[in-house]
A and B are shown apart, each in its own frame.
Chain A
Amino acid sequence: MNDERFFDLAMKVIVRQGTDAERAEFDALLASQPELKAEFARLQADVRTAKGALPLVNATEATAGELPAYARGRLQTKVRHTLGSPDTTKHRGWSWRWAIGLAATTSVIVLGLLLLNPSRPVIEVAMLDTAGGVRGAETNQVSLLQARWKEVRQFSNALESVAWERQPSARGDFAKIIYDPAAAEVRVSGRAGGKNFTTTIAVEKNLAGALDEAVHFARDQFGH
């Protein structure tokens, strides 16, 4: 009887999925190794924790549903009363304000994920398509990214793109590269050796070159 078998049996017993044979096997195991009772009690507590927390975690990640039209005015009134009118002459504040502005032009993000190697730093690549997606030059740009990175996902919300940029993607070293056609730049951010790094590379006519530069910059940070 190994730990994995005990764990699997315990899980099935706790959620009442076990067959009669599995239940009998589990009972016999506990009878022969009473010290496992404490471990079983701990797993039961863990499952209660999971059942309590997971619904809320899942709800936090919900993406379906639209804000009712009638609520917008009420909420904007709250914003004006609480925060006042924005200062339109200055553009300081959170660095992600640029993304919120771009969102008005319908942003679609194409995300590519490259796992260089499980034991090496992670590089993720994204594209912010302010032209609304797959047409014209943007199609070529998406194709260019897809040709270089095997896994591609899409987002359609600028706030989420900024959240993605800021969310660590790995416990260890990682880099996030995002191409922003509207700003004509490739931004790189990440962490290497416990230190954060960031840079911006202007894209003139050569996107492939800018992407190369971004990848090289990231690898330099990783010391490769």
Chain B
Amino acid sequence: MQRGDSAAWDEAFAWLWPTVFAVARLRLQPFLPDEIEDVAIESLEALVEKVRGVKTVEELKPLAASIAHHRAVSLLRERFAQKRGEGKTESLDATTEDGDPKHDPASPDSPLDALEEKELAERLQKSLGALKPPLGDVLSDFFLHGLRYEEIARKHGIAVGSVGVYLKRGLETLRRIWGGRDDS
């Protein structure tokens, strides 16, 4: 890939597309859904420029995700600035369907945005390695999808009493990786 092998890049683009698209959609869906595909493609183009600094294949997905995240954030900020320039002061938070804009991934001032591209990629890579099944799914089911202990236990075939153990371990893992960042 670093030498421009087109077949290798075809494989890589196909493999990385779901990641960059999903990350771009995470940020842009509530505000700029028509821009998601463009941002995803631009992110892969940016990855091509950075591939010489990549040492191992497992760095690719987190780096692609980080690039897509930052490009989506940049686009949001650019459009924000344009709106302000036109005298429109509408809050993008107010347009979200999520009732908790503080935690909305599309919130324009997420602490994740403060991380440099490389640092965010590194933290993502660590998270992917640490949240092995079913840990990541248990966390997502409880904190993102609102499932109850009993529902999570049934879904993953674990004891109800183990759900809290998974949650505790997962929170400690995320705190260790994300440096105890406070997203408020």
Contacts and interface: CB of A to CB of B under 8 A. Distances in A.
B23 A48 contact: no
B5 interface: yes
B7 A43 contact: no
Contacts of B4: 79-80, 82-86
A93 B131 CA distance: 31
Contact of A65 (B22, B49, B62): B22
A64 to B, nearest CB: 6
Given A52-B111, A63-B18, A159-B15, A76 B5 contact: no
Interface residues of B, number: 76
Contacts of A64: 18
A78 B48 contact: yes
Contacts of A53: 112, 123, 127, 174, 177-178
Interface residues of A, number: 63
Contact of A79 (B48, B102, B111, B164): B48
B144 A96 contact: no
Contact of A100 (B12, B127, B177, B178): B12
Contacts of B17: 65-67
Which DSSP category, helix, strand, loop or mixed, fits chain A's interface?
helix
Nearest to A62: B22
Interface of B: 1-15, 17-19, 21-23, 25-26, 37, 41, 44-45, 48-49, 51-52, 56-58, 60-62, 65, 69, 102-103, 105, 110-112, 123-124, 127-129, 131, 136, 139-140, 142-144, 146, 148-149, 164-165, 167-168, 170-172, 174-175, 177-178, 180-184
